[in-house]
Amino acid sequence: MKKFLWAFALVATTSSFTFAESLTGKSVSGSNSEIKKENKIIGGTKAPLGAWPSTVALLSAEKLGRGNYHAQFCSGTIIASKWVLTAAHCVVDSDTGALDEASSIKVLVDTSDLGRGGRRENIRRIIVHPNYYYQSGDADIALLELEYDSGIMTIPVSGDDAPIGLLATVVGWGATDKDAKYFPEDLQEVEVPIVSKSICEDIYGTTEFTQNMICAGYSQGAKDTCKSDSGGPLMGIQYGEYVQVGITSWGVGCAQPGHYGVYTRLSQFDGWINYYTRNSSNRGGGYESWSRFYSGEDSGGSLFFLLFPLSLLLLRRKIKGAV
Ligand code: ARG
């Protein structure tokens, strides 16, 4: 029994799109009762323990006295052993455009719980993309170089655009309610489909919504990132592995009908990221094909990926039983 559970957990984490999708059903739109039940990230759930090891919390050094929970203000991801990817607006003063001091931020690694565990890592330097402009929010991307190799599992950054309709995952410790009053201790996750460029240009206008952005979410709202989720990852499965395609950047309110969350479009920054991280060890990447888990009606594929690993397990047990 124990073995079965372990195997199940493994399957569940490697293909969690399938499981989340099949467990919550196709009502990704969310019936009212579902929306009331789920109120994390916004409309999400607590992430399984250890599910997103590469996601880290950014802590404000001056607030550390009150603990990680009070000091957390943004997220980031470990994309190479000593490099954290985050949003530029997390490390630049929004009034003056001044860059934060490296010593003013600590990186909390190795825990999804702000209330316990983890290690605080020091930052050696902060690199903001040269095209980032704090008044427009364009090119909202920055790299933090850690003082030491983190030893944390890295997430590959995809060089490709995620296909429209792909059910992507966002995670963070950001607000769980639209008014941004409640913040969780445990990392939250929710799935949001990638939305077409033209839809987001229509909503936000081409000056606001630039070529360096992608958006994701539901026309009816209800599931979205919110305050303090910034800098965290928007991820999809490419060739059976989670890769990062976006960075949580901005939105109009949170989880509002008619508005989508906006994320930094990582395919635009492939070269810039590589320039800094290429000599670092432990980098993932180089995948070509996207998972077939879309938000649309293709449930045949999902069912296959749910049943296939299970049948393998059953087969294995049968063989073992026969020996
Ligand atoms: N700018 C916010 C932050 O600093 C993230 C907002 C994301 N908003 C949204 N509606 N998706 O944490």
Is 89 an annotated catalytic residue? yes
- Strand spans (E) along 90-232: 105-109, 119-121, 123-128, 142-146, 167-172, 188-195, 213-216
* Structure-token pair, residue 110: 């190795």
Is the C-beta atom of 226 inside 6 A of ligand 1? yes
Q: How many CA atoms lie within 13 A of 66 on its CB side?
A: 8
- pLDDT (0 to 100) of residue 275: 95
What is the structure's pLDDT at 281?
63
Measured in Å, residue 225 CA sits from the centre of ligand 1 at 6
pLDDT of residue 39: 44
Give the model's pLDDT for residue 289. Answer: 53
* pLDDT tens for each residue of the chain, 323 residues long: 333 332 323 333 333 333 332 222 222 233 333 333 334 699 999 999 999 999 999 999 999 999 999 999 999 999 999 999 999 999 999 999 999 999 999 999 999 999 999 999 999 999 999 999 999 999 999 999 999 999 999 999 999 999 999 999 999 999 999 999 999 999 999 999 999 999 999 999 999 999 999 999 999 999 999 999 999 999 999 988 999 999 999 999 999 999 999 999 999 999 999 999 988 865 554 444 555 455 543 333 344 444 445 555 555 554 444 33
Q: How far is the CA of 268 from the centre of ligand 1 (A)?
A: 20
Helix ranges restricted to H, 205-280:
270-277
Tell me what pLDDT residue 280 has: 80
DSSP 263-288: EEEGGGGHHHHHHHHTTSSS------
CA distance 141 to 287: 22
| Interacting residues of 206 by C-beta distance below 8 A, sequence separation 6+ | none
Beta bridge mates, 21: none
**Protein residue with least CA distance to atom 1, ligand 1:** 250
Closest CA to 170 of 137, 194, 197: 194
230 tagged catalytic: yes
CA of 227 to the centre of ligand 1 (A): 5
Q: Which of 141, 171, 223, 254 to mutate to test the pocket of ligand 1 (most atoms within 8 A of CB)?
A: 254
Q: Is the CB of 213 under 6 A from ligand 1?
A: no
Res 319: pLDDT: 44
Please, what are the domains in the chain? 27-45+155-267 (2.40.10.10)
Residue in the structure block whose two tokens are 């009034």: 95
Distances (CA, A) of 272 to 83, 133, 267: 13, 16, 10
Task: Please tell me if the CB atom of residue 248 comes closer than 6 angstroms to any atom of ligand 1.
Answer: yes
User: Residue 2 Cα, ligand 1 centroid: separation in angstroms?
Assistant: 40
